Amino acid sequence: MTIASPILRALGDTSLPGLVTDGGLETDLVFHHGADLPEFAAFPLVEEHRGRELLTTYYDGYVRVARAAGAGLMLETPTWRANPDWSARLGYDLDATRRVNADAVGMLRDLRHRYADDVPTVFVSGMVGPREDGYVAPTDPDPEEARDYHATQIRALADAGADVVTALTLTTAAEATGVVLAAREAGVPVAVSFTVETDGRLPDGTSLAGAVADVDAAAPPDYYLVNCAHPTHVIRGLDGGPWSHRIRGTRVNASTMSHAELEAAEVLDEGDPARLATEQALLSQRLPELRIVGGCCGTDVRHVAAMWGVSSPPS
């Protein structure tokens, strides 16, 4: 059973064109702002004054996009890597991991007040990432194990006041199920986002339709997204079935490269924002309930602005 919430009401509000969310935070900060992100983790920036300034400047750009588009705004915490295994690599124990997740939510809740006069509505999403690498499916994933693993981070995000928990770049239905179970126990709305390979299938070979069916049968989230794939890759995973109505958001890559090619690349493939907008529009036509649009690897505010019909980020 889903949880009634303001975010779900906003997704059904036809007076809004939808919710703008951000782009590829980590790739943008590393390649365009010279940020040092060990383990590709942005969450330590929350604990530094300069880091918070950098993040605030980053989010400011997407506020301008939302304002120009007349859309709402989904602020995602920079906590994709802030789960126990990845944070431990950076020296965080469980208490520190809980604290930084809570602090990330607190920072964005403060920004929500800052942006209140600029956009119709602002939501704070607590971002969760996969336990392992976002491009590699774990062997023998177990939903109950995933629930127990992700519970630490999800509880911290929920207790800090996140409006929704969103798990990005998941590679298996089993881990997605575990995330939903943990979120239900924490009493917070939850969305899960799968990533797909160039053939439109999850890294473990499951079809998008199959993954949605499996999770919905075990522990349905409030909605789904697809992220970290080019629009043309996502389209290959759509079969026209009614399950596609469950997908409410996309966060696409700028590049048409495969995950393996992106991992091996030494320079950032930013693609072309105008072309990406055209390809996103074709994808949007195939997803009748799409309401959240943002970017992932290689994208920045230019790409998201183009996808929302804003030719360049307004000043």
Domain boundaries, the chain: 6-307
Residue 195: the pLDDT is 97
- Summarize pLDDT for 124-176 with one digit per residue, the tens: 999 999 999 877 777 778 999 999 999 999 999 999 999 999 999 999 999 99
Residue 1: the pLDDT is 41
Question: pTM value?
Answer: 0.95
Q: pLDDT exceeding 70 applies to what percent of the chain? A: 97
- Summarize pLDDT for 70-92 with one digit per residue, the tens: 999 999 999 999 999 999 999 99
- Summarize pLDDT for 97-112 with one digit per residue, the tens: 999 999 999 999 999 9
Residue 162's contacts (CB-CB under 8 Å, 6 or more residues apart) are: 77, 105, 124, 125, 126, 188
Residue 171: the pLDDT is 96
Residue 298's contacts (CB-CB under 8 Å, 6 or more residues apart) are: 24, 27, 253, 254, 255, 268, 269, 270, 271
Residue 3: the pLDDT is 46
What is the pLDDT of the chain when averaged over all its residues? Answer: 95
With respect to CATH, is domain 6-307 assigned 3.20.20.330? yes
Residue 312: the pLDDT is 66
Residue 118's contacts (CB-CB under 8 Å, 6 or more residues apart) are: 63, 64, 66, 67
Could you give the angle at which helices 143-159 and 94-115 cross, rounded to 10 degrees? Answer: 50
- Summarize pLDDT for 27-76 with one digit per residue, the tens: 999 999 999 999 999 999 999 999 999 999 999 999 999 999 999 999 99
